[in-house]
Structure 1
């Protein structure tokens, strides 16, 4: 008969038993400690207690008003209900109680609606707020301190002709040239140094184009790409805002890199008739421009045989030519003189490097050029940083003794090389352009 063998204990069962015993022991100890605290504890030794309420049971203090609306509580209702709608010049404009639109104001000039100082009191040189670089003093409106005039809508009668099914600019029968008729009027009675800025590449990006038209001072000249969508609409809008305009003319460069050449590019290797036809197609795209500005062109600019007919055609139509700085200065000065062309060359490409530091450096160079030689011209493109920095910089020119001028004011009509060494700056168009002062 075999001996009986006891079965080995189960690990699972042993673990469960041990766990139960542990919980029982530690639970008993914790319960005993809790009971001892309740029975033997001293309430006076407990930490402070705090009661939290879901709702306030008393009236809270009135919240402080914003600084620009700071007023006396006792007169607040009167200040809001009975505002003073009169102003110093009797224009009857209502005060603006709307939201803050980004107008800059010195901290010490924050004025309360109820306790504002009467018009005429305080420092007349510093009182007011600055809007888009213009100081608006108490009793003045923004329109009172700006000189924006809308230029007449193009085309002006007598300034165009029909040729080969195209509408092209021309000198009118009474002798007016588009370079005069479509230029922004400019006067400089104090004979101060002047700077001009051309912002180009417009009409391609609607957002940037709108920003340039609406935000830049009207003295800034705007140039548009010839194949821009709704080109004439943009030009009309720019002129309505007071900007004179240029048309960008693609010209052959030595190296295009990966860029595709524009189909209407004026070529050094092309014959005169072909380039003439391309130029006329560019000119026919719109109207209302006072001149052309080159888009590249270093190669054709070095070829006198190709460039002379182009400049002669531009001059014969009474247009000006603005060199963005990429053409040979000496050669272009000579050729424009021979053609009797209104010509000026940019002294600086303001945004060749797209950084605030580099653009500021170019602005300083333009200021130095203007102070030393009487005038300076800068050219750039409608990048957001360029638009913003041009807007800020131009607002500072007046206090530096420099006048912002349209580019047409620097485009002097060249004599036929009577004195090529004469670099005297001539500012102002030959005749004032017609304007709509109520525009």
Structure 2
């Protein structure tokens, strides 16, 4: 009986607390907000979040009973003051806006934007794009579409430089052979870095699509005869000096058919081939007819590519330097600084390197604060030009090529 009596008393006491108590008195609580709240209301806060759930931004929002956010503890984010003027955007992001905003993990989120929108990488279209391929002798080859669109344009990464700042382009090659290095280059380097793939890479189309998903434009490497050819095992599809096209053009077609989604080719070796205008001409004419650009990696000084590019009107540019010819951290940093200097002097420059872990790591660090040094990172396609220098540009832009790049430092 005593147990029943005490049980009844406990149940009555609990019911009384439940119906008459104040839950807010049960313990301390904290009120958090993602934006400044001097005049804010619940409706305003929700509208500024633009439909994003607080969990999507990595925070929990609790509103007071009067629906007005009260005094807030710091979230560890920086608020951009609306009164501060903002420089013109340059495509690199991270400049404060006149309309204000906050920084989350170092990224500026303006009113009306979500963190996901700010950090999203703009993917390029999955290849192939309709109308840009054709079947020839059982091979799928790039072509200019019926409405005149060339792969060199469609598969290039879009680029804008409204601030007309000096630009530096960088291509990292040798990808697709080592999956670890390839994955690091695709995921860790900024999307403005152009990536080039070896033609014998396993799952080449998969890697090309993964690179484009992360925003990288792509080149395919074409092996060309060097002066050491014959003393070392070379690729069976190597383009040879002394050939007028009988052997080289079928080899080139096999290489071009390995994948789709690239805007151009880049040489692998080729010093001897490049010095033979008779061998270079038919190859560049084929590239021109198929709407493919040619990029020279800067590994040799004397070549026929410039003159043949002007003659055939193929889109062409040349790297000013190979950044990791000497594979030490100091030498790579020196080469990258040299590219910045050249860009500031002439408007644009381009470098080429390989997917060594050291090269990827240094290039990643180098690109993080380029804007503070007064230069903009550009995809290689932004520097290609067609034929002879355009007379309309007031200042010559050196990219290591005799042709003028379509970047106007004067605006």
Please say whether Structure 1 and Structure 2 have the same fold, judged by a TM-score greater than 0.5.
yes
After TM superposition, give the deviation of residue 401 of structure 1 in Å: 1.9
- 3-state SS in 1 of match to 2:381: helix
Task: Describe the SS at the equivalent of 1:175.
Answer: coil
1:205 matches 2:166: no
Shift in Å at residue 148 of structure 1? 2.6
- 1:174 is aligned to 147
Residues 158-307 of structure 1 aligned to structure 2 (within 5 Å)? 158-255=131-228, 259-307=232-280
| Structure 1 position 311 matched with structure 2 position 284 | yes
1:351–1:316 CA distance, 2 compared to 1 (3 A): same
Deviation at 1:258, TM superposition (A): 6.7
Q: Is structure 2 residue 104 aligned with structure 1 residue 120? A: no
Q: Report how far residue 207 of structure 1 moved.
A: 0.8
CA 138–159 in structure 1, closer or farther in 2 if over 3 Å, else same: closer
CA distance 1:195–1:417, shift in 2 (3 Å): closer
Higher Rg of the two aligned structures: 1
Q: How many residues align?
A: 336
Listed as ranges, the matches of 1:44-55 within 5 Å are none
Is the CA contact 1:351–1:359 (under 8 Å) kept in the aligned structure 2? yes
Structure 1 residue 89 corresponds to structure 2 residue 49: yes
The farther-off stretch of 315-324 and 271-280 is 271-280
Matches within 5 A, 1:329-368: 331-368=304-341
Aligned residue number for residue 15 of structure 2 = none
Work out the CA distance in 2 between the residues paired with 1:323 and 1:269: 20
SS at match of 1:120: strand
Structure 1 pair 116–129 and aligned structure 2 pair: CA distance change class (3 A) = closer
Structure 2: how far apart are the matches of 1:203 and 1:349?
20
Q: Could you tell me which residue of structure 1 aligns to residue 407 of structure 2?
A: 427
Residue deviations 1:146-177 (CA, integer Å, cap 9, x gap): 47311111111111111000000011111111
**Cα shift at 1:280:** 0.2
User: How far apart are the structure 2 equivalents of 1:343 and 1:166?
Assistant: 25
Task: Name the CA distance, whole Å, in 2 between partners of 1:77 and 1:382.
Answer: 54
> CA 1:370–1:202 in 2, change beyond 3 Å: closer, same or farther?
same
Contact 2:79–2:103 (Cα < 8 Å) also in 1:
no
Structure 1 residues 249 and 83, CA, compared in 2 at 3 Å: closer, same or farther? same
Cα pair distance change 1:301/1:115, threshold 3 Å: closer
How much does 1:269 deviate?
Answer: 3.5
The higher-RCO structure (CA 8 Å, 6+ apart) is 1
Change (3 A) 1:122 1:279: same
**Structure 1 residue matching 2:327: 3-state secondary structure:** coil
For each residue in 1:186-229, what CA deviation from the matched residue of structure 2 results, as whole angstroms up to 9, or x when unmatched?
Answer: 11122211110101111001111111111111111000000100
Indicate which of 350, 370, 375 corresponds to 1:377: 350
C-alpha separation between the residues in 1 aligned to 2:78 and 2:320?
45
Aligned-residue CA RMSD (Å) = 3.3
Shift of 1:259: 4.3
Q: Does 1:325 align with 2:298?
A: yes
| TM-fit CA distance, 1:369 | 0.5
C-alpha distance in 1, partners of 2:371/2:173? Answer: 24
Give the Cα separation in 1 of the matches to 2:376 and 2:77: 33
1:389-409 CA-to-partner distances (Å, cap 9, x unmatched) read: 111111111112211111001
Residues 351 and 195 (structure 1 numbering): CA distance in 2 closer, same or farther, change over 3 Å?
Answer: same
CA deviation after TM superposition for structure 1 residue 365, in Å: 0.2
1:410 aligns with 2:344: no
| Counterpart secondary structure, 2:202 | coil
Gaps of 5+ in 2: 1-25, 35-44, 60-71, 85-95
Change over 3 Å in CA distance of 1:196–1:77 after alignment to 2: farther
Q: Secondary structure at the match of 2:160?
A: coil
**CA separation of 1:121 and 1:229: change in aligned 2, threshold 3 A:** closer
Unaligned runs of 5+ in 1: 1-74, 98-112, 429-439
**TM-aligned CA distance change 1:279 to 1:121, over 3 Å:** closer
Do the aligned partners of residues 246 and 423 (structure 1) sit closer, same or farther apart at CA in structure 2, a change above 3 Å counting?
closer
